[in-house]
Chain A
């Protein structure tokens, strides 16, 4: 079975502080992992894919197969980063989402 765990419902950080949103997964095969973001009153949109190893809006995420983790990181948080963040996994079924972490960046 595929499972995604985001242990924090809410994460509050000050502007300019580092951010780490945690994501752990459970899947016996080789997963495809993603981070999606939902800004206030907007639709869900893709932020990062592990396969592309890219940096988007200053965010990066590294797949650690040993720890089965895919944590999202940004060195300096901005107010516009405040949003709901979802980690998602695709294995042998469509995307399975974690319950999400609400990031609040305080000015």
Chain B
């Protein structure tokens, strides 16, 4: 079982470039999430999708868009990257019930120069 798979693992962008971070889960989970992890800031929620066909903003959504392509896949897009978006991005998924917690991907380390 792969769990939650994120691609790419590393990426360097120039300011103003765009890119999409991909996330797929094979656990038939209803809910999916995107977090960013910054030193001293912990993990902050960018966007989430409670179920297929729905998306909602989290704590830090500015500069990002998301697409819940189907039940398995939830992508995060940076339309015009900024140095402030340099971070490690984690995708996660969960059942609707929180009994088992979230399952996280291995992360994407993004640097914007």
Contact = CB atoms under 8 A, between A and B. Distances in A.
B40 A46 contact: no
Nearest to B3: A43
A9 B42 CA distance: 10
A98 B41 CA distance: 8
Nearest to B38: A99
Contacts of A93: 45, 58
For chain A, the bracket of interface size reads 20 to 34
Given A43-B107, A94-B33, A100 B42 contact: yes
Given A32-B98, A51-B99, A94-B48, A86 B43 contact: yes
B45 A94 contact: yes
A106 B18 CA distance: 44
A86 B40 CA distance: 12
A45 B99 contact: no
Nearest to A9: B40
Interface in B37-75: 40-45, 48, 58-59
Contact of A86 (B31, B42, B100, B106): B42
For chain B, the bracket of interface size reads 20 to 34
A97 B43 contact: yes
A36 B102 CA distance: 9
Nearest to A49: B101
Nearest to B48: A94
Given A6-B42, A43-B104, 12 more contacts: A32-B98, A43-B106, A43-B107, A44-B104, A45-B104, A46-B100, A51-B99, A90-B98, A95-B33, A96-B59, A97-B43, A97-B44
15 contacts: A34-B101, A44-B90, A44-B92, A45-B104, A46-B101, A46-B102, A49-B99, A94-B31, A94-B33, A94-B45, A94-B48, A96-B59, A97-B35, A99-B40, A99-B41
